Amino acid sequence: MALLSTMPAAAGIAEREPPSAELWIFVIGIAALSWVMACRRWWLPLTVWLPAALFISGLVADFADPVIGPAVREELGLAYIFQADLAGALMLVVPLMFANIRFGRKE
C-alpha cells in the first residue's frame, strides 16, 4: 500500500492515449469512408463528422486538462501532441471537404 502512495497521480497517462499510428490509421479510414460515401450522396460524409468530432474533442480535452495535459507532454512529448492535433484537424476537415466537392458538382 505504501508503494501506491508514493507514485504520482498522473502515472501511466501514456497508456490511456491512442498511439499516433492509430490516429493516422483513423485519418486514412475516415478519408476513405468519406470518399466512398460522397460518391453515393453529397451529404453522407457529414454522418462521419459527428463521431469524429466527439472523439477529437475528448482527445483535446485531455490535453487541456490541468493534470493530464502536463503528464501527457512529459511522457509522450510535444511531437505526439502536434501529431494528435494535426490528425484530429484532418479527421474533421476531410469529411467536410468531400461533401463540399460533391455538393458543388452538377450531375
* pLDDT tier for residue 21 given thresholds of 50, 70 and 90: very high
User: Alpha-carbon distance 68 to 84, whole Å?
Assistant: 15
pTM of the model: 0.80
Residue 93 has a pLDDT of 96
- Other residues' Cβ atoms within 10 Å of the Cβ of residue 88: 21
90 part of a folded domain: yes
Is residue 14 assigned to a domain?
no
2 in any annotated domain: no
Decide: 14 and 62 in contact? Cβ < 8 Å: no
Q: Is 5 inside a domain boundary?
A: no
- The helices-and-strands tally (H runs, E runs) of the chain is 5, 0
Task: Tell me whether residue 12 is in a domain.
Answer: no
Is the pLDDT at 7 greater than 70? The verdict is no
Other C-beta atoms lying within 10 Å of the C-beta of residue 48: 22
CA 107, CA 85: separation in Å to the nearest integer? 36
Task: Give the count of domains, the chain.
Answer: 1
What pLDDT, on the 0 to 100 scale, is given for residue 106?
60
CB of 51 closer than 8 Å to CB of 91: no
Q: Tell me the pLDDT tens digit for each residue of 24-39.
A: 999 999 999 999 999 9
**Per-residue pLDDT reduced to its tens digit, 41-98:** 999 999 999 999 999 999 999 999 998 889 999 999 999 999 999 999 999 999 999 9
Contact 27, 94 (CB under 8 A): yes
Residue 1 cell numbers, joined: 500500500
Domain of 85, in residue numbers? 19-104
